Amino acid sequence: MSVKAKKQQQQSMNDELFGELMESLDQALRYSRGEKINARVTTLPAPPAAMPREEIVKLRERFNCSQAIFARLLNVSIKTLQAWEQGLRTPSDAALKLLNIANKHPEALLS
């Protein structure tokens, strides 16, 4: 890509971002004046609750597989799974979400 083409692409992106920013500012001003605006409101679920190490072990045992295989199903290292099961580390929110899915819908990990 030539330098000129890159500059045109950057300018196009800057114009697009500037337009979105101006639209957001306009919406904020209208909202502050009490006007109705077309805004999307998304309610996010609460972060997953912590999972005790014993539950992680029970979940793995429900799958009837070794630590190595369960770690592979979760796409984490065996060391990470061992640390969770020993209580040395706690799973991240993303890992907790996956563990909860595995608990409620085990077929999701096996497909």
Between these two residues, 111 and 9, which has the higher pLDDT value? 111
Is residue 110 scored above 90 in pLDDT?
A: no
Q: Return d(Cα 69, Cα 1) in angstroms, integer.
A: 46
Query: Looking at 12-21, 53-62, 85-94, 96-105, which range is the least confident one?
Result: 12-21
Which pTM does this prediction carry?
0.63
Is residue 72 scored above 90 in pLDDT?
A: yes
Kindly report the average pLDDT of the chain as a whole number: 88
Q: Return d(Cα 105, Cα 97) in angstroms, integer.
A: 12
Q: Give me the mean pLDDT over the 21-30 stretch.
A: 86
> Which residues, other chains included, contact 50 with Cβ-Cβ below 8 Å and sequence gap of 6+?
90, 96
Between these two residues, 23 and 12, which has the higher pLDDT value? 23
Domains in the chain, please, with CATH? Answer: 1-43 (no CATH), 53-110 (1.10.260)
Q: Return d(Cα 43, Cα 45) in angstroms, integer.
A: 7
> How sure is the predictor about 111, in pLDDT bands with cuts at 50, 70 and 90?
confident
